[in-house]
Structure 1
Amino acid sequence: MNSRTSCPPDRTASRPLLAERHVARLLLGTLIGRLPNGMAPVAILLLIAEQGGSLATGGLLCALYGLASAIGQPALGRMVDRRGQTRVTTAAVLVTTVCLLLLSYADAVAQPALAAGLVVLAGLSTPPLEANLRALWAVVLPDPERRRAALALDTGAQGLIYIAGPPLVATLSALHGPGAAMTVTAVLGLVGASVMLSTAPCRKWRPAGARTGGFLGPLQHDGLRLLFLAFSGVGFALGAVNVWAVSMADRHGMALLSGVIPAALSVGSLVGGVLYGRCRWPGGLSGQLLTAALLFALAWGPLAASPGPLVATALTALPGLFLTVLITSAFLTVDALAPTGTRTEACAWLIASVGIGQAAGTALAGTAATSPTISAALPAAGALLALVVLAGSRRQMSTPFSPSHRGQHRRRNDTETPSSRGRHRRVSGA
């Protein structure tokens, strides 16, 4: 008898997901708290421009901010796994807030080293709200299907950060100046983190057991290392598409395209999250992950033909539909494979791999922006890299149980032998 028939039906399964206790507050708090991820780079660019600095200087500071944020997440995630969410995240958000506030008063042209230092410190201390939330879902939503739906909604809703954030900065900058926009950015990050940190699950969260995996933590697992490598390709595609959107805007004389094309990707991601949360995918996690990667890579194909502005905008939503499925499946895989006591750090490594890939995609696409054909093909190249790595490492990423089983079995410890794992599978599926 399988797990779906051996257990009584969940009475809460028919309730709206946002009606579940703590879910709406956690989602709202993390979305507000992560708005600086989409607002700060734009605010930095506008601030440098107002001070008379060059676009190259502003771009360099934005790159430093993004790279520092990606590097800092695993370190903060490891600290959370050891000390809990409240103390580590509170300290991180306070440092980030202070740095962003000071940046609005610093003269990056006259004092470039000071500005760069503040940007790097703000990035390194970016609070690990996303990794925290992914670790909390197992506590807030014990049912695996509800947890999968929450992950999909959370992943899809991330697009709102990049849909709402940049226009908000542009509006505030036009009305009150870039300094005011940077100040609002810092305050929103503090408010959102406070909303999340004040919830009972966040305050009470502690690691699930003694930390295993040694110094390397989740990086000691072959499957997780390959998963992180694959998702640097996903990040590469996302970084490259932003630059491609700017080049499309310049080539066609339509400035709005630089924002509309990434927004279309985000809208597709949001729609994909809602649809994925309401559907059940057949098969195990490794199969779902590979299928999502294949669809994500195929969806970039039409864009490589350099279509016109309207067609390109519509087609960009297609990869977004599968992006949420891909990322959600990856986080579920991380949850299944991460050594005991490293869940937050493992989630943070996945987030960091996407961020590092984005930085690389942005940099390479910037050098190829003068070639429309190459620029349009780079997102597909990143997605193809992710597909190839995932296809070649499916065995290393195989999870001990299917998604329907994970909520009903204690995670195997690292000393379990292959033969005992096989017996465990046969017994649990009997």
Structure 2
Amino acid sequence: MPPTALPAPAPRITYGAVLGSPYVARLLGGTLTGRLPNAMAPVAILLWATTSGSSIAFGGLLSALYGLSSSVVQPVKGRLMDRYGQTAVHLPAAVLNSALLVSLALAGPYGGPGLATAIVVAAGLTTPSLEAGLRALWPKVLPDPRLRHAALALDTGTQGLLYIAGPPLVAALACAYSPTVALAATAVLGLAGTTVVAFAPPSRHWQPAPENGPVKGAAARLAGPGLVFLFVALAGIGFALGAMNVWAIGMAEHHGQDMLSGIIPAAFSTGSFLGGLVYGHRTWRCFAADRLISASAAFLAGWLPLAVMSAPLAATAAVAVPGAFLAVVVTCAYVTTEALAPTGRTSEAYAWLILSIGVGQSAGIALAGRLAGQPLASAALPAAGAAFALAVLLAARQQLRPAGHLPRGRHRRPLRDRHKTP
């Protein structure tokens, strides 16, 4: 008998193929532009407050309130998108957010701290939920699970670019013109990017899957044990990120090099960008939850040397290592969330994921700020957050795997084949 011909290997997925797919470049570019205010607004608000006669402490409080209010409201917007669609939620939020940022520059000095605080909180509450919305679009924009996997990794990795480009852009506009111009530019970019996404056909026509399907009762609840454990663990990841930012400022003050406060986070974000590109370019056959745990362990290991590194150059280079695994952790967390969330509530679940990281980040900033005078403790905090996340994920390993079915698309593999060499 003639030998049986082996099936031809699947063509290799490239990022060119991903970006060349219909609407992908538009959605990704629009989302990145529309989310620039997440990185620009806190800096612009701080600069505006200090040049308007307020203290740095008050400006820092306003920046923190903007970020916190933006995170807290994410699940509400996710739930609204699951009910009414994306365009109906994105556009009003973007218009209000932009109008409030502009009004802060115009009305703030005349209303005192109370009015400025109210405007900043309202602006944070109206931040468009573009990140959760984009993640919900990928399954319909890219039906091929291999393309979708690469797009998700690219999407996650490029988030670091926001924090590399956003703050320097604000600083340049404030120096060349004024913080008021920087606030106005932030508002315009946010509105422009959101408009590009909201009027794209996938966003305009997107509707969630019906919630009242065959899965009802306890299985249809969003707060299932797997998702709860996952979100608690991601708070630890966020804690590490917040503590890292304060640690970078402490390094800058200790060595008398102000640029370190920006260079260290930029090196971390660069590592995240490159790690996301490498991860998305490969084919993975194990459970997303298993990859999440492995990446979290590597994320923790990357922080450990930094606790004893005091040289600025070495610390800046080393921080790219945990950064490289951050994109993998977040990508696998989104895939796990998609697999565990009940039908029709994926946007809301993604929003809770974003909220978990944001709350953890705020906690990390707060505690690291109190320990800023103790270099060893401050340097160890990112590792502590990563260790907490890994411990929770290990304890919840079984709950993170979907019950009764396998991970979707590229992340699925029959149990009997899991230990076979592909």
- Whether the 8 Å CA contact 1:269–1:322 is kept in 2: the answer is yes
Residue 419 of structure 2 is matched in structure 1 by none
**Structure 1 Cα separation of the partners of residues 208 and 273 of structure 2:** 30
Give the stretch that moved more between structures: 130-139 or 9-18: 9-18
- Whether the 8 Å CA contact 2:237–2:386 is kept in 1: the answer is yes
Deviations 1:366-397 (A, max 9, x none): 11111111111111111111101101011111
**Structure 1 Cα separation of the partners of residues 218 and 115 of structure 2:** 33
- Write out aligned runs for 1:149-228 (5 A): 149-210=150-211, 219-228=222-231
Deviations 1:134-179 (A, max 9, x none): 0000001111121111111000000110000000000000011000
The answer to whether structure 1 residue 358 and structure 2 residue 356 are counterparts is: no
Deviations 1:200-223 (A, max 9, x none): 111110011125777997642110
- Write out aligned runs for 1:342-381 (5 A): 342-381=345-384
Deviations 1:202-250 (A, max 9, x none): 1110011125777997642110011111001110111111111111111
Shift of 1:402: 3.5
Aligned length: 409
- Whether the 8 Å CA contact 1:306–1:372 is kept in 2: the answer is no
Secondary structure of residue in 1 paired with 2:344: coil
Residue 337 of structure 2 is matched in structure 1 by 334
The answer to whether structure 1 residue 45 and structure 2 residue 50 are counterparts is: no
Residue 230 of structure 1 is matched in structure 2 by 233
Give unpaired runs (5+ residues) of structure 1: 409-423
- Whether the 8 Å CA contact 1:269–1:324 is kept in 2: the answer is yes
**Structure 1 Cα separation of the partners of residues 372 and 25 of structure 2:** 41
**Structure 2 Cα separation of the partners of residues 126 and 114 of structure 1:** 19
Shift of 1:11: 6.9
Secondary structure of residue in 2 paired with 1:181: helix
Residue 72 of structure 1 is matched in structure 2 by 73
The answer to whether structure 1 residue 116 and structure 2 residue 121 are counterparts is: no
Aligned in 2, Cα 1:405/1:49: closer, same or farther, shift over 3 Å? Answer: closer
Secondary structure of residue in 1 paired with 2:316: helix
- Whether the 8 Å CA contact 1:142–1:407 is kept in 2: the answer is no
- Whether the 8 Å CA contact 2:288–2:407 is kept in 1: the answer is yes
Residue 314 of structure 1 is matched in structure 2 by 317
Shift of 1:281: 3.2
- Write the letter of the residue equivalent to 1:378: L
Secondary structure of residue in 2 paired with 1:209: coil
Aligned in 2, Cα 1:218/1:53: closer, same or farther, shift over 3 Å? Answer: farther
**Structure 2 Cα separation of the partners of residues 133 and 361 of structure 1:** 27
- Write the letter of the residue equivalent to 2:315: A
**Structure 1 Cα separation of the partners of residues 261 and 130 of structure 2:** 28
TM-score, scaled relative to structure 1: 0.90
The answer to whether structure 1 residue 146 and structure 2 residue 151 are counterparts is: no
- Whether the 8 Å CA contact 2:72–2:355 is kept in 1: the answer is yes
**Structure 2 Cα separation of the partners of residues 6 and 401 of structure 1:** 26
Shift of 1:197: 1.1
Give the stretch that moved more between structures: 108-117 or 129-138: 108-117
Secondary structure of residue in 2 paired with 1:111: helix
- Whether the 8 Å CA contact 2:286–2:412 is kept in 1: the answer is no
Secondary structure of residue in 2 paired with 1:106: helix
Residue 57 of structure 1 is matched in structure 2 by 58
- Whether the 8 Å CA contact 1:53–1:109 is kept in 2: the answer is no
Residue 269 of structure 1 is matched in structure 2 by 272
The answer to whether structure 1 residue 283 and structure 2 residue 283 are counterparts is: no
- Write the letter of the residue equivalent to 1:100: L
**Structure 2 Cα separation of the partners of residues 193 and 181 of structure 1:** 18
**Structure 2 Cα separation of the partners of residues 150 and 302 of structure 1:** 32
Residue 23 of structure 1 is matched in structure 2 by 24
- Whether the 8 Å CA contact 1:236–1:359 is kept in 2: the answer is yes
Residue 249 of structure 2 is matched in structure 1 by 246
Give unpaired runs (5+ residues) of structure 2: 417-422
Deviations 1:90-109 (A, max 9, x none): 11111111111111123359
The alignment's C-alpha RMSD in Å is 2.4
**Structure 1 Cα separation of the partners of residues 110 and 309 of structure 2:** 38
TM-score, scaled relative to structure 2: 0.92
- Whether the 8 Å CA contact 2:285–2:411 is kept in 1: the answer is no
The answer to whether structure 1 residue 92 and structure 2 residue 97 are counterparts is: no
The answer to whether structure 1 residue 134 and structure 2 residue 127 are counterparts is: no
Aligned in 2, Cα 1:335/1:304: closer, same or farther, shift over 3 Å? Answer: same
Residue 400 of structure 2 is matched in structure 1 by 397
- Write the letter of the residue equivalent to 1:221: G
Residue 295 of structure 1 is matched in structure 2 by 298
Secondary structure of residue in 1 paired with 2:26: helix
- Write the letter of the residue equivalent to 2:406: F
Aligned in 2, Cα 1:206/1:309: closer, same or farther, shift over 3 Å? Answer: same
**Structure 2 Cα separation of the partners of residues 296 and 156 of structure 1:** 15
**Structure 1 Cα separation of the partners of residues 344 and 60 of structure 2:** 38
